[in-house]
Structure 1
Amino acid sequence: MSKTRKIVRCLLGGCLLVLGIVSAVAAASDEAPAQVAETLKKTYPKLEFQKIFTSPIAGLYEVAAGGKILYFAPKTGHMLAGELWTKDSVNLSKERLGKLMGEKLKLLPLNKAIKIGTGKNTVIEVTDPDCIFCRKGSDFFAQRKDVTRYIFFLPLKMHPQAEQKARYVLSAADPASAYEEVMSGRYDEGPIPFFKDNGVIESHKEATALLGLNGTPNYWINGTFVAGANIKAIERLLK
């Protein structure tokens, strides 16, 4: 065998070895999510989750559940709740959650939302009429003229009057005005005016269930998700 052919064979062998290593790494990074999901179901049968992703840490998986990102180790059965950061100060948990929530926006029935304003910034809100943080956020947006708001109600069980207030707003001839009345606390002490329920609240319940949310408030500012009345974060996104 000539020296040239030997060199070629060595090079080909090296390429095949490298390809084998790359394939093995790819397979490891794409370890069957179905198997992980089955283990998760068996370990935490009461946990309702939407999706599972690989994480940068070997053996640890990202679990999207209840509007949050959890971390599951199938081999040990441990579950972690918290945020995962990179050494460059990137919040991977928030990044993943933002992508998931952003994907779901196109499924929302915006024609069923309460629309307020005609500004250049699109804001989608998920709110509870008796949540003090929701009212804080509502008051902030009420002062701005540069937003178009699409509002969905998610009345929480901890607020016994919230659903009735939401039904009142959605059934009003002018939902935007009724919304401002309720969020200002006008009916906190007195009775809600008589109204004929139009049933729109059901579409709001379906929309928030689709998003996998169980708390308020939540916002999407031009497609970027913000959990809670984080006014500073919202202001940055509006700029």
Structure 2
Amino acid sequence: MKKSLIALFILLLAATLMPGPASASKRGEEGVAAAASALKMTFPKLEFDSIHPTPIEGMFEVLSGDRIIYFVPRTQHLIYGEIWDAQGQSLTRARQAQIMSDRIKDLPLDKALKIGNGKNIVIEVTDPDCPFCRKGSEFLGQRDDVTRYIFFYPLTRIHPEAEGKARYILSSDNPGDAYEDVMHGRYDGRPLPDFEDNKQLEAHLEVVNKLGVRGTPKFWINGTYLSGADLQAMEQLLGAPGQKQ
């Protein structure tokens, strides 16, 4: 009887000391705050948007724009790479896709250049002089089952003529035709036609900056995020192609 009472007392004591869901949640929040503070102190030049726990104890996910990196506060290491599970799935890519898909929920599509009226909704961030953007544009231009919402993000450091081309497209009387001319290289190494800048590019840059995008091309195909002109992945997301008539 005495042993039973002692055992019961130990169980009650353990239950009392064991943190409940609220305490665990608070510990988690404190851990994230401590990790963020350590990250700022260890890598003061690193710009990041947020930090979150990962399935790996002691490792934190750091979101910087559209990029995910990892931080281990205990050893003060940053890790650039992907986490894979035992099933061969990249947890990093899945997490990145989720984050980037969430960001387009309130996107002002009325500010984008709209091309087409198909059933598949494609949102694009593009640079008119980016060869991979042109590759993706050519692929999408062959289909009549897409509605494209295009935002321009000229990478002026590597494509010095891209900003002028983006402004020309957005300021044209027929932006769709101007877009096709530019993306097919009509004005590569040649002067653009005269135009009056309507300053729409500034609105595009504001949208892209809020998305956290820092490179091109980027696509959201029916809500699913895709980085780069992966034509095979694009076709899988769009389904069987419908040839443009």
Instruction: Please give the TM-score of this superposition, normalised by the length of structure 2.
Output: 0.88
Deviations 1:63-103 (A, max 9, x none): 01131100001122100001111111221111111121112
- In 2, the alpha carbon distance for the partners of 1:58 and 1:30 equals 14
Query: Structure 1 residues 197, 221: closer, same or farther in 2, change over 3 A?
Result: same
User: What secondary structure sits across from 2:104 in the alignment?
Assistant: helix
- In 2, the alpha carbon distance for the partners of 1:139 and 1:216 equals 15
2:164 is matched with 164
- In 2, the alpha carbon distance for the partners of 1:176 and 1:14 equals 72
1:230 is matched with 230
1:183 aligns with 2:157: no
User: What secondary structure sits across from 2:118 in the alignment?
Assistant: coil
Deviation larger for 105-114 or 14-23: 14-23
Paired amino acid for 1:196: E
* 1:16 Cα deviation after fit: 2.2
1:136-215 correspondence to structure 2 within 5 Å? 136-156=135-155, 157-215=157-215
- In 1, the alpha carbon distance for the partners of 2:21 and 2:170 equals 56
* 1:21 Cα deviation after fit: 7.6
2:63 is matched with 64
1:75 aligns with 2:74: yes
* 1:48 Cα deviation after fit: 1.1
- In 1, the alpha carbon distance for the partners of 2:97 and 2:210 equals 15
Paired amino acid for 1:79: L
Query: Structure 1 residues 28, 236: closer, same or farther in 2, change over 3 A?
Result: farther
* 1:8 Cα deviation after fit: 11
Measured on the aligned residues, the alpha-carbon RMSD in Å equals: 2.6
Unaligned runs of 5+ in 1: none
Contact 1:43 1:77 survives alignment (8 Å) = yes
* 1:19 Cα deviation after fit: 5.4
Paired amino acid for 1:188: D
- In 2, the alpha carbon distance for the partners of 1:215 and 1:137 equals 14
2:242 is matched with none
2:52 is matched with 53
User: What secondary structure sits across from 1:107 in the alignment?
Assistant: coil
* 1:41 Cα deviation after fit: 1.2
Paired amino acid for 1:158: I
Contact 1:83 1:93 survives alignment (8 Å) = yes
Runs of 4+ in 1 over 4 A off after TM superposition: 5-12, 21-31
1:102 is matched with 101
Deviation larger for 27-36 or 220-229: 27-36
Contact 1:119 1:147 survives alignment (8 Å) = yes
* 1:14 Cα deviation after fit: 8.6
Deviation larger for 160-169 or 25-34: 25-34
- In 2, the alpha carbon distance for the partners of 1:146 and 1:223 equals 16
Paired amino acid for 2:188: D
User: What secondary structure sits across from 1:214 in the alignment?
Assistant: coil
Contact 1:30 1:54 survives alignment (8 Å) = no
Query: Structure 1 residues 58, 169: closer, same or farther in 2, change over 3 A?
Result: same
User: What secondary structure sits across from 1:205 in the alignment?
Assistant: helix
1:129 is matched with 128
Number of matched pairs: 238
Instruction: Please give the TM-score of this superposition, normalised by the length of structure 1.
Output: 0.90
Paired amino acid for 2:44: P
1:37 aligns with 2:8: no
* 1:45 Cα deviation after fit: 1.3
Unaligned runs of 5+ in 2: 240-245
* 1:104 Cα deviation after fit: 1.2
- In 1, the alpha carbon distance for the partners of 2:69 and 2:215 equals 16
* 1:214 Cα deviation after fit: 1.2
Paired amino acid for 1:41: K
